Amino acid sequence: MSLHLTILGCHSATPRVNAYPTAQYLEINNRHFLIDCGEGTQRQMRKYKVGFSKINHIFISHLHGDHFFGLVGLISTFGILNRERELHIYGPKGIKEVTILQLKVSKSWTKYPIIFHELDSKESELIFEDDKISVRTIPLDHRIYTNGFLFTEKPKPRKLHIENIQQYNEIETCDFHNIKAGKDFILSTGEVVPNEELTIDPPKPLSYAFCSDTAYKPGIVSIIKDVDLLYHEATFLKDREDLCEKTKHSTAEQAASIAYQANAKKLVIGHYSSRYNNLEDFKAEAQTIFKNVELAEAGKLYSTDDFPIEILN
């Protein structure tokens, strides 16, 4: 069980010299995902040593430029790097047409398959699942159709309590599978050895929720309840809550309120408007509601090992 989030870009609207738009690289349970892909994301991936070949699934929250204008360039670069493995792209309806047209006009068809998973449901839905991970949408409230994404590890089998098992000569290796699956063991005497005696709890599955961009939407709390790590946009401070209403964004306080209601373990905020010079003000505002807050910063790596923060070179 592991969860590492690398921020590649965390500013709103337009790329600037040292302020890249939204993109994140998530490693969870040995799966690797790219989330959003603003202009310059591939440059940031190179800078922070994200292996291009690890990315097989890209999740795009919505089709505003600061969340997807870097996608077609990345797709092209994968082609130049002779990628062969298929690439899955999850995003709003329209993402396929706009991507394909750009490849068409440049006559730069990729040799690897691209599989588009176009989304249009307004309800939370399961969009990816394998033996290690599931991904659900988190329907958000923005100016255009937008989803956040909830990444959750699959529960692992229970762990064997070897010392206790060794007390019972009757239990053979071939029984371990059932015991790990949670079954009690019945001795030849008919006595039942409860599973809790033979196993210990596996590590709790970890989860990560990505919520950008959105107006304050308490309706998402039930979807992200008890999440380990929550990224929630905080475009404005509450002094400009009027702009949140107009642009369908959140304040730092609103992001913190969502984290509090969801009982998140940690909150990371980002998508700062360029009107603010001092990002610490975002943290201070959020901490009036929810203590465990970090500011998103390009190159910052958030890990679940008590969430230490590491700055990448």
Q: Which residues are annotated as a binding site for Zn(2+)?
A: 62, 64, 66-67, 142, 213, 271
Distance from C-alpha of 15 to C-alpha of 7, rounded to nearest angstrom: 15
User: Residue from 97, 129, 245, 297 that binds its own copies (CB under 8 A)?
Assistant: 97
Stretch binding its own copies (CB under 8 A), from 11-19, 185-193, 197-205, 209-217: 11-19
CB 247 within 8 A of CB 213: no
Assign 59 to helix, strand or coil: strand
Please enumerate in sequence order all residues whose Cβ is within 8 A of that of 164, keeping only pairs 6 or more positions apart, or say none. 197, 198
Q: Which of 5, 7, 11, 40 binds its own copies (CB under 8 A)?
A: 40
Residue 96: partners with Cβ closer than 8 Å, 6 or more residues away: 89, 116, 118
Q: By CB under 8 A, tell whether 14 contacts its own copies.
A: yes
**If residue 103 lies in a helix (H) or strand (E), which one and from where to where?**
helix 95-105
Which sequence positions are flagged as catalytic? 66
**Is 70 among the residues that bind its own copies (CB under 8 A)?**
yes
- Residue selected from 63, 209, 286, 293 as contacting its own copies according to rule CB under 8 A: 63
Q: How far is the CB of 286 from its own copies (least distance, A)?
A: 25
For the CB of residue 202, give the shortest distance to its own copies in the complex, in Å: 40
Parallel/antiparallel/unpaired status of strands 114-119 and 87-92: parallel
Q: Is the Cβ of residue 170 or residue 297 nearer to its own copies in the bound state?
A: 297
Instruction: State in angstroms the smallest separation of the CB of 244 from its own copies.
Output: 17
Query: Going residue by residue from 131 to 160, which x/- string records binding to its own copies, judged by CB under 8 A?
Result: ------------xx----------------
Comparing CA positions, the residue from 113, 45, 32, 33 lying closest to residue 73 is 45
Among 51, 82, 107, 131, binds its own copies (CB under 8 A): 107
- Which residues sit opposite 16 in a β-bridge? 19
CB-based burial label for 79 (10 Å; 0-12, 13-18, 19+): middle
Residues forming contacts to its own copies in the complex (CB under 8 A) are 13-17, 39-40, 42-43, 46-47, 63-65, 69-70, 72-73, 76-77, 80, 92, 94-95, 97-98, 101-102, 105-108, 143-144
